[in-house]
Amino acid sequence: MGKLRKGSLIDDVDVRGWWGDGPPILFTNPQIRKMLNLSKAGKDDVFFDLGSGWGQNLIIAASEFGVKRCVGVENSKARCQKARGRIKKWENEDRIKIDQIKIINCSYIDVIEAKVRNVKLSDATVIFFGLDDLRAWKIMRRNDLPRRGCRFVYYNLTLFPDIMPDENGVDNPFYVSTAPFNPPKSKLEWLRAVVGIERPFLLTKEIQELRDELSHDYNVEEQSQKAIERYGIQFRT
């Protein structure tokens, strides 16, 4: 797990010039490796990426972590075409197996609602959800998804205050919760978990500091995205 195999540098695409829909590659390669390590992704897993962009999460999951099946769900036709072109190149270079990665051009809501033929989110053992969409989350929960044992991965801009991260399921900015989820006993318990504070007792001032720290993380992330959009900064390892 996590063993580098023939590399997966972002050396075949340029992320400058994207507009409107957010970055087509959201994380750097070290961050993606961190996320996949945290989720314990491996050769027996089926990995779904809801909102997969140009497929970098999928490529690293397949090439470095040996995930047996990776499914990317992307609503943008142009992004799907770019991802499929990259994946074909990797297949031709024998860096990933044929059909190890599949890209579905549709709404992730349709996948969550089981409206897409031969695509079952219930098959997933690892799901990455990097979208700030509470409606999708509510539909997922209503449909009893993710299934028992599935590792649900998210990050600090898509936190879900109604579920607790797993023990050892936090590696900033990523979080993992394994289904069936444990609800927090209190807002304070949840804050302690997501911010990483283990002290048994906290004063009112310290609780506010936790909220401030979490807010700071959001602001830093948002500002970094604005900088990328404004200056065309490329993601590099």
Is residue 112 pLDDT above 90, yes or no?
yes
Mean pLDDT (the chain) is: 84
Antiparallel, parallel or unpaired: β 46-50 and 126-129: parallel
Look at 118 and 19; give whichever has higher pLDDT. 118
Instruction: Name the band, by pLDDT with cuts 50, 70 and 90, for residue 119.
Output: very high
Instruction: Name the band, by pLDDT with cuts 50, 70 and 90, for residue 80.
Output: very high
> Exposure string (b/e) for 19-32, b if CB count within 10 Å is 16 or more?
eeeeebbbbebebb
Residue 55, pLDDT score: 95
Look at 177 and 4; give whichever has higher pLDDT. 177
Instruction: Name the band, by pLDDT with cuts 50, 70 and 90, for residue 235.
Output: very low
Residue 70, pLDDT score: 98
Report the percentage of the chain scoring pLDDT > 90. 59
Residue 14, pLDDT score: 72
* Region 56-63 average pLDDT: 95
Residue 86, helix vs strand vs coil: helix
| Residue 215 CB partners (closer than 8 Å, separation 6+) | none
Look at 125 and 13; give whichever has higher pLDDT. 125
Reference 25, options 55, 3, 2, 4; nearest CA is 55
Domains of the chain: 29-231 (3.40.50.150)
pTM of the model: 0.82
Residue 215, pLDDT score: 63
For 187-222, the pLDDT digits (tens) are 888 888 888 766 555 566 666 666 665 665 555 455
Q: Which amino acid is at 182?
A: N
When mean pLDDT is compared across 37-46, 48-57, 106-115, 153-162, the lowest value belongs to: 153-162
| Cα–Cα distance, 79 to 87 (Å, whole number) | 12
When mean pLDDT is compared across 1-10, 132-141, 144-153, the lowest value belongs to: 1-10
Q: Where are the beta strands (DSSP E) in 20-149?
A: 46-50, 69-74, 101-105, 126-129
Instruction: Name the band, by pLDDT with cuts 50, 70 and 90, for residue 227.
Output: very low
| Cα–Cα distance, 126 to 48 (Å, whole number) | 6
